Amino acid sequence: MTGQRVNIDIDPTSFTFHCPVCGHAILRPEHEPAPCAHCTFVWLDALAEFDEAMCTPEILARMKVIPPPDERIDEDEFEWVSCFDKEFLGRLPNGTIAFFLSWSGFACGPVSETVVVGIDFVPKPAGDGGDWDIRASDLELLLDDEGEEWKRGSAGNDSSSFG
């Protein structure tokens, strides 16, 4: 089985991409991407490569293409599989969905860009069989920019404000 692809046309000035598993805002206008524990990678079209700081080790290993030794100039030389290559989805781990977030417009001619976010939809049980594993970065998901607790669907209101 391979990964799956979902295409979404967005307005980059007002679109926020939330993790479909935990609700964390991974992409927000005017902010750097902020992956959560379910985000396996962020691929930036502007760089035409994966951002290693925003990828799991498994994705880094699966998406690196290392040429044969006699074709390398440097022993550390490699290339990334592009998200637009036909082999891309086949390299994704099972249960991963790649969200292709694209926009287009005009600036001295037509321009477009795509950001691809990989989300792992396979639950990972903790070693003791009880609670789910939570990475330290997940603890940030419970706080918003001002340090206040995030409540799904509350929009910052508590129930006392509803007569």
Q: Are 45 and 114 in contact (CB under 8 A)?
A: yes
How do residues 40-84 score in pLDDT, each as one tens digit? 999 887 777 787 888 899 998 898 887 676 776 766 667 888 888
For residue 72, what pLDDT is reported? 67
- Give the domain ranges of the chain: 4-50+95-143
Answer whether residue 158 shows pLDDT above 80: no
According to DSSP, residue 138 is labeled G
How far is Cα of residue 126 from the mean position of the Cα atoms in its chain?
22
Q: Which of 8, 14, 9, 43 is nearest to 30 (CA)?
A: 14
Greater confidence, 58 or 149?
58
Answer whether residue 131 shows pLDDT above 50: no
Q: d(Cα 81, Cα 100) in Å, to the nearest integer?
A: 15
Residue 145's pLDDT band, with cuts at 50, 70 and 90, is very low
pLDDT exceeding 90 applies to what percent of the chain? 28
How far is Cα of residue 107 from the mean position of the Cα atoms in its chain?
27
Residue 161's pLDDT band, with cuts at 50, 70 and 90, is very low
Q: d(Cα 72, Cα 124) in Å, to the nearest integer?
A: 38
Helix (H) or strand (E) holding 91: helix 88-91
For residue 8, what pLDDT is reported? 92
pTM of the model: 0.69
Q: Are 92 and 100 in contact (CB under 8 A)?
A: no
Handedness of CA 35, 38, 40, 41 (dihedral sign): negative
pLDDT exceeding 70 applies to what percent of the chain? 69
